Amino acid sequence: MTTAGTRPGAHRTLAPADFEQLRTLRASRPEEIAKALATRTRREILRGDGRLFIIAADHPARGALAVGSNSTAMADRYDLLDRLAVALRCPGVDGVLGTPDIIDDLAALGLLNDKIIVGSMNRGGLRGASFELDDRYTGYDVDTMIASGIDFAKTLIRVGLDDAATAPTLEATARAVTESARAGLPIMLEPFMSYWQGGRIANDLSTDAVIQSVAIASGLGASSAYTWMKLPVVKNMARVMAATTMPTLLLGGDSGTEPDETFASWEDALALPGVRGLTVGRTLLYPPDDDVASAVNTAARLVHF
């Protein structure tokens, strides 16, 4: 029988003892999590080639556990942490995007030195919920990120023109952008034009829709000085990038596309003016051949060419 922290295959880098230590720390010495964040080695956001490669892992907090046809791929926290450990130890990875539970685990495991931490703020729009577009801010807040030494903020903005729940999400996001700018904290906005389809939310990935989402997101908040974009790779990305002067990271999603085709599309988009790198999660953490290091290293070479 498989027990927590002893997955069959032990294909990666963390040992059962690492997980036992993590569980013990959480139960008996929780104050050490804050200490681990406060004392970690930090780095500048941009250095060297001025490009960023961030591994994303904030999906579970929104109830989004699926990767491809596997509806519970991200449910095993120990397996997810193991995959993240592999990714973070690849030399081309600059940081990680996550909710507080993920970031606290990684900090306690000592995996965040010299890495950028991106804090995910709104995870209240649970996947499949009737209130999914009322994407409330249930994760990090700006004050906590500043106090904890989090380097970057991130929000998800799904705009449903036929759903009134969009309005409070936009208002809350504008407030987060304003607070981040006042604190000098870079904030990454991930906008989509979204709609209900068969009882589920779908994102419109047409070029025109992505451009419209960029226009809406760009105007949120009292200052855009610290605003970045996190955008999907779609057809005619040159037109998309012509819609913003803000630094942009490309997202990977979970499209089910063949890896070679996915990498080729990223490579083309990464060459566009304004594109600063990638923020990718499931595509690289759960590749078809299960070789996390190979997938991550391939993506890193595209970013830091």
- What is the predicted pLDDT for the residue at 138? 97
**What does the pLDDT read at residue 220?**
98
Question: Would you state the pLDDT for residue 12?
Answer: 73
Strands (E), 22-142: 52-56, 95-98, 116-120
Query: Residues 6 or more apart from 149 whose CB is under 8 A from it?
Result: 37, 38, 40, 42, 117
Query: What whole-number distance in Å separates Cα of residue 276 and Cα of residue 168?
Result: 30
Residues (pLDDT < 70) of the chain are: 1-11, 253-257
Query: Domain segments of the chain: what residues?
Result: 33-303
| Burial zone of 50 (CB within 10 Å; 0-12 exposed, 13-18 middle, 19+ buried) | exposed
| Phi and psi, residue 135, nearest 5° | -85, 80
> What does the pLDDT look like over 207-256, one tens digit per residue?
999 999 999 999 999 999 999 999 999 999 999 999 999 999 999 866 56
What pLDDT, on the 0 to 100 scale, is given for residue 305?
87
Q: Rounded to 5 degrees, what angle do the CA atoms 296, 101, 276 make?
A: 40
33-303 belongs to which CATH class?
alpha beta
pLDDT of residue 136: 95
Question: Is the four-CA dihedral 79, 187, 228, 49 of positive or negative sign?
Answer: negative
pTM of the model: 0.94
Residue reference for tokens 């208002």:
171
Provide the pLDDT for residue 252. 83
Q: Where are the beta strands (DSSP E) in the chain?
A: 52-56, 95-98, 116-120, 152-159, 187-197, 200-204, 227-232, 248-251, 275-280
pLDDT one-digit tens code per residue, 75-101: 999 999 999 999 999 999 999 999 999
Question: Which of 163, 222, 246 shows the shortest CA–CA distance to 231?
Answer: 246
